[in-house]
Amino acid sequence: MRRKKTVLLLGGSGLLGSSLRRELERKIARPDWREEISLLTPSHQELNVLDFCALEHYVSELEPDLIFNCVAHTQVDRAESEPEQAMLYNRDLPKKLGELIKGSRTFLVHYSTDFVFNGEKKTPYTPEDKPDPLCVYGASKLAGEKALMALDLENCAILRTAWLYGPGGRNFVRTILGVCGRNGEARVVDDQKGSPTYSHDLAFWSVKFAENPRSGIFHVVNSGDVTWHGLASEAARLVYPGCPVRPIKSAELNAPATRPAYSVLDNSGFASMLGLELRHWRDALHEYLGQYGFLGGAAQ
Ligand SMILES: NC(=O)c1ccc[n+]([C@@H]2O[C@H](COP(=O)([O-])OP(=O)(O)OC[C@H]3O[C@@H](n4cnc5c(N)ncnc54)[C@H](OP(=O)(O)O)[C@@H]3O)[C@@H](O)[C@H]2O)c1
């Protein structure tokens, strides 16, 4: 009899987590997959992952084959004023998960960020490039990566991603379209360039990767690059044609956290490993806007 594969999804209500949940549930519903995967997505209330005793108990009872960790402190500006909390989520939690799976058959897929880089490069960052974060969030995510790497795990992958948007939470695209709808114009920074990534695409690639996982650090983003202003302009062009999107400089925002001016990630290694083309951000954006009702005129 074939053993049922158990997948534990932590943070299944968040932006990425809800896309992963959807992707895994779609897979389970396929006739050739049913009976083979059991998916557990405990809510924050059911399992507070910062209660490391409860986490240890849960994981050791379940003995999952696979863990996706989507729990993190993701409020980049707020992290500046609560670095201990950011470190607890972004360094100590992955470290604890790494310790729990060491030597076991559980594979851990953990997520990190383009904000581990300082933005001084002019060409896309590869996984081999030296990180040098500019803000507390980036530093705490890098500390999590280092804690995992120090454990020398054969059963853990760190997927660095960037600029996520999707239906499962607050995100830049939806926020900016809301501003366009309310104010008839928007002001957006044009001096930060990155790799916008659709959470559904990342979820699809993550699940594909997890079918045959490998340990290491990988860059997993939609292809192409653009500034926040370029991204906002493209979304506004489609949803609110004629709405002006004015370019501004990061300094005008006075944001507590410093972001890298350039944090485009080179996804070619991951794409060739999976034998997939990671589609362009513009194609993904168009699908998101069409799929979630923005193109009817009213932003969802
Ligand atoms: N968002 C981005 O643009 C972006 C960019 C690059 C990398 N990443 C990385 O991608 C990953 C996912 O990010 P995301 O934006 O999808 O995160 P998110 O939307 O902020 O979701 C975080 C999740 O963690 C859960 N959570 C928080 N505290 C918890 C606790 N103590 N116990 C159990 N669950 C808890 C939240 O549930 P509740 O809401 O119920 O508390 C939520 O489901 C993170 O590693 C992040 O660093 C994100």
Under 8 Å CB-to-CB from 65, ≥6 apart: which residues? 5, 6, 7, 105, 106, 107
Q: How far is CA 155 from CA 56, 126, 233, in A?
A: 17, 21, 41
Check whether 297 has a pLDDT greater than 70.
no
What pTM was estimated for this model as a whole? Answer: 0.96
Q: To test the ligand 1 pocket, which listed residue (9, 45, 74, 137) has its Cβ within 8 A of the most ligand atoms? A: 74
Contacts of 283 (CB under 8 A, 6+ apart): none
Question: Is the domain 5-296 a CATH 3.40.50.720 member?
Answer: yes
pLDDT at 170: 86
pLDDT band at 293 (very low <50, low <70, confident <90, very high): confident
The predicted pLDDT at position 168 comes to: 84
> Which of 44, 91, 95, 281 has most ligand 1 atoms within 8 Å of its beta carbon, as the pocket-test mutant?
44
Residue-level pLDDT at 36:
78
84 pLDDT more than 70:
yes
Known active-site residue 137? yes
- Mean pLDDT, residues 204-215: 95
Rounded distance from Cα 77 to ligand 1 centre (Å) = 15
Instruction: Choose, from 58, 137, 240, 288, the residue flagged as catalytic.
Output: 137
Q: Could you tell me the pLDDT band of residue 169, with boundaries at 50, 70 and 90?
A: confident
Task: Locate the ligand 1 atom nearest the alpha carbon of residue 17 and give its number.
Answer: 16
Question: Strand 226-227 relative to strand 193-194: parallel, antiparallel, unpaired?
Answer: antiparallel
Q: Which helix (H) or strand (E) holds 40?
A: strand 37-40
Pick the atom of ligand 1 nearest to 71's CA. Answer: 24
pLDDT reported for residue 249: 96
Ligand 1, from 8, 10, 15: best to mutate by most atoms within 8 Å of Cβ?
15
Q: State residue 126's pLDDT score.
A: 98
Q: Kindly report, residue by residue over 91-132, the tens digit of the pLDDT.
A: 999 999 999 999 999 999 999 999 999 999 999 999 999 999
Contact between 184 and 243 under an 8 Å Cβ cutoff? The reply is yes
Position 300 scores a pLDDT of 47
**How does residue 21 score in pLDDT terms, banded at 50, 70 and 90?**
very high
How does pLDDT run across 247-279, given as a tens digit for each residue? 999 999 999 999 999 999 999 999 999 999 999
- What is the C-alpha to C-alpha distance for residues 185 and 246, in angstroms, rounded to an integer? 8
Q: Measuring from each residue's beta carbon to the nearest atom of ligand 1, which residues come in under 6 Å?
A: 11, 13-17, 44, 48-50, 70-72, 74, 111, 113, 141, 161-164, 169
In this prediction, residue 299 has a pLDDT band, given cuts at 50, 70 and 90, of very low
Distance 243 CA to ligand 1 centre (A): 32
Please compute the mean of the pLDDT values over residues 139-150 and round it to a whole number.
98
Which ligand 1 atom is the nearest neighbour of the CA of 50?
31
30 versus 45: the higher-pLDDT residue is 45
Pick from 116, 4, 17: which is nearest to 63 by CA? 4
Split at pLDDT 50, 70, 90, the class of 34 is: low
